[in-house]
A and B are shown apart, each in its own frame.
Chain A
Amino acid sequence: MDLDKALILGIESSCDDTAASILEINPNGSHIKSSIIRNQFNLHQEYGGVVPEIAARAHVELIDVVVEEALKIANVSIQDVNAIGVTAGPGLIGGVMSGVMFAKGLSASTNKPLIGVNHLAGHALTPRLTDRVNFPYLVLLVSGGHCQFLIVHSHHNYERIGGTIDDAPGEAFDKTARLLGLLQPGGPSIEEAAKTGDEHRFDLPRPLLNREGCDFSFSGLKTALMRKRNDLIEEQGGLFKQDICDLSASFQQAMHDVIVKKSIRAIDLYCEITNENPVFSIAGGVAANKKIRQSLENICKTKKVTFSAPPLALCTDNAAIIAYAAAERFLNDDYDDMTLSARPRWPLDNKKSAILGSGKKGPKA
């Protein structure tokens, strides 16, 4: 890059939220000038009427609005932007496609370079955006739809050393909350209910806890919790408030124990592979859970590992992290062309998983 600074527009529409951000990169680091996120709730408020949560149409209707707003709040025009980064997968196909089509159109009409970003790379690179962490480092990515340990060797080289073989933790939190009649999203509801609960009352399984390696399984935990709940309902004819709190606390504790123990193992494995202590980072919505976050911080202290936990707003889905991942490629003059296509499935570590028929074009990043 021959410029003193560059502005990257990031666009994200791979799940329920539609987001846009303007990121400034300069030799001293990165600066988020704006980051706009709209979900269905805002949409209802502003436009009235019912919009299907999942609809690609909702994204189509919102993308230009959020991009305009991101530009306005950053106080720049589209002409000032140096490149357009967009989530090209993985995610909900309709949503990803809306974002990619919009970005292509914008790129063609403004002559700005187009960069397709892997949504997971956005999360995995966040420690570089916030703490300027050097490669390589270790990331635990835990969210509604994902759960994996990654060694980030560079912005286009990710080594997956473990992950879930069934449900993601965020999903397990949501489904558990539903089973207990708590509000969605499940993460915050379970955490709140667990505060006054007894985590020792119910003995829930810690799936794969003692198995070698860094893989997770959460499906059985959810089923075990359901059984305890059903037993209680059968015995008492329903659930008392304390039962819900105790079940929440026991569930959170099981989740916590598994994530913490596997993190210790991942750190050890990282040391074996690279012969050095990692910087350990966490990303994704589950990073919001205070109990889990605190324990991860503690194990890092014990193991003399630097812990980098991005602020919560950057842990959940947003477009600033997409702009940043695009910036890493922009700095290497690595662009996409108009053949960029949406990829609903797009594993970051493509050495481990074969990518079969999930898009004609392989990942450039």
Chain B
Amino acid sequence: MKKIVISNGPLETKKLATLFKANLQKGDVVLLKGEIGAGKSHFARSLIQSAMYIKEEVPSPTFTLVQVYDTTIGSIWHADLYRLNDYSDVIELGLIDAFGEEIVLLEWPERLGYLEPKDSLTIEIIILEGDRREIIFSTTSSEWKPRLDKILKDQ
């Protein structure tokens, strides 16, 4: 299943991320794809900040690899696999223990290899001209369909 949304700028992406958050639940794994500068962190940051009890900063997890936030929708793991070499490093990181248990937002999920959860949702952000972005939601899991339909209807 595939749904495409066009965002005309960071503010629209932020709204979309907030809408998306309202439909997230424990155990969801969201894979954020797109080249450097596409806005993966911006999407994740907007989502996490909209779920915080008290708004605080959401730094890029590139250096620390994983940042965990306690939010109104449960514990969110924000991870970035950019610096990892391959899936063996992912095992060392303990990230797979969170799959299916917590909400996981994962940047650079290409490094997951075979560890990629089957029921995850992929959000790919493609740079169009200027600040415009094509945001593609795709998944092989039917479980996401009603939620995605709702998000796109509200949008």
Interface residues of A (CB under 8 A from B): 15, 52-57, 90-94, 144-146, 163-168, 170-171, 174-175, 178-179, 219, 222-223, 226-227, 344-345, 347, 353-354, 356-358
**Inter-chain contacts of B69 with A (CB < 8 A):** 356
* Contact indicator B89/A54 (Cβ below 8 Å): yes
Taken together as a complex, chains A and B put the C-alpha atoms of A258 and B50 apart, in Å, by 28
Is the C-beta of B155 less than 8 angstroms from some C-beta in chain A? Answer: no
* Contact indicator A168/B63 (Cβ below 8 Å): yes
* Contact indicator B60/A166 (Cβ below 8 Å): yes
Taken together as a complex, chains A and B put the C-alpha atoms of A52 and B37 apart, in Å, by 27
* Contact indicator A165/B57 (Cβ below 8 Å): yes
- Complex partner residue of B85 from A53, A93, A168, CB under 8 angstroms: A53
* Contact indicator B36/A354 (Cβ below 8 Å): no
User: B50-97: which residues lie under 8 A (CB-CB) from chain A?
Assistant: 53-54, 56-57, 59-60, 62-70, 75, 83-85, 88-89, 92-94
**Inter-chain contacts of A146 with B (CB < 8 A):** 59
Whether A226 contacts B75 in the complex (CB less than 8 A), given A55-B89, A90-B64, A94-B93, comes out as no
Taken together as a complex, chains A and B put the C-alpha atoms of A65 and B69 apart, in Å, by 34
User: B2-50: which residues lie under 8 A (CB-CB) from chain A?
Assistant: 35-37, 39, 41-42, 45
**Inter-chain contacts of B41 with A (CB < 8 A):** 166-167, 219
Interface residues of B, count at CB 8 A? 31
12 contacts between A and B (CB under 8 A): A15-B63, A92-B64, A93-B66, A93-B94, A94-B93, A163-B57, A171-B62, A219-B37, A219-B41, A344-B66, A347-B56, A357-B68
* Contact indicator B92/A55 (Cβ below 8 Å): yes
**For B53, B57, B65, B66, which residue has the most chain A Cβ atoms within 10 angstroms?**
B57
* Contact indicator A179/B92 (Cβ below 8 Å): no
Interchain nearest-CB distance for B48 vs A (Å): 12
* Contact indicator A94/B92 (Cβ below 8 Å): yes
Taken together as a complex, chains A and B put the C-alpha atoms of A167 and B40 apart, in Å, by 12
Q: Which residue of B lies closest to A51 (CB)?
A: B92
Interchain nearest-CB distance for A81 vs B (Å): 30
From DSSP, what is the main secondary structure of chain B's interface residues?
Answer: loop
- Complex partner residue of A356 from B35, B53, B63, CB under 8 angstroms: B53
Taken together as a complex, chains A and B put the C-alpha atoms of A167 and B75 apart, in Å, by 22
Q: Which residue of A lies closest to B130 (CB)?
A: A227
Closest CB pairs A-B (n = 9): A145-B63, A223-B37, A357-B70, A55-B92, A354-B54, A353-B56, A356-B70, A226-B37, A52-B89
**Inter-chain contacts of A164 with B (CB < 8 A):** 57, 59
The total of interchain contacts (Cβ-Cβ below 8 angstroms) comes to 97
* Contact indicator A171/B67 (Cβ below 8 Å): no
**Inter-chain contacts of B93 with A (CB < 8 A):** 54, 94
**Inter-chain contacts of B65 with A (CB < 8 A):** 54, 92
Interchain nearest-CB distance for A28 vs B (Å): 37
Taken together as a complex, chains A and B put the C-alpha atoms of A105 and B51 apart, in Å, by 38
**Inter-chain contacts of A171 with B (CB < 8 A):** 60, 62-63
- Complex partner residue of A145 from B39, B45, B59, CB under 8 angstroms: B59
Interchain nearest-CB distance for A170 vs B (Å): 8
Q: Which residue of A lies closest to B68 (CB)?
A: A344
Q: Which residue of B lies closest to A225 (CB)?
A: B37
Interchain nearest-CB distance for B40 vs A (Å): 10
* Contact indicator B45/A166 (Cβ below 8 Å): yes
Whether A358 contacts B89 in the complex (CB less than 8 A), given A94-B94, A166-B45, A166-B60, comes out as no
**Inter-chain contacts of B60 with A (CB < 8 A):** 166-168, 171, 219
Taken together as a complex, chains A and B put the C-alpha atoms of A56 and B93 apart, in Å, by 8
Interchain nearest-CB distance for B118 vs A (Å): 25
Interchain nearest-CB distance for A184 vs B (Å): 10
Taken together as a complex, chains A and B put the C-alpha atoms of A93 and B92 apart, in Å, by 11
**Inter-chain contacts of A354 with B (CB < 8 A):** 53-54, 56
**Inter-chain contacts of A219 with B (CB < 8 A):** 37, 41-42, 60
* Contact indicator A344/B64 (Cβ below 8 Å): yes
Q: Which residue of A lies closest to B75 (CB)?
A: A357
- Complex partner residue of B92 from A56, A144, A223, A356, CB under 8 angstroms: A56
13 further contact pairs, Cβ within 8 A, besides A145-B59, A171-B60, A179-B36 = A52-B89, A53-B83, A54-B65, A54-B93, A55-B89, A94-B92, A94-B93, A145-B62, A223-B39, A353-B56, A354-B56, A357-B68, A357-B70
* Contact indicator A353/B57 (Cβ below 8 Å): yes
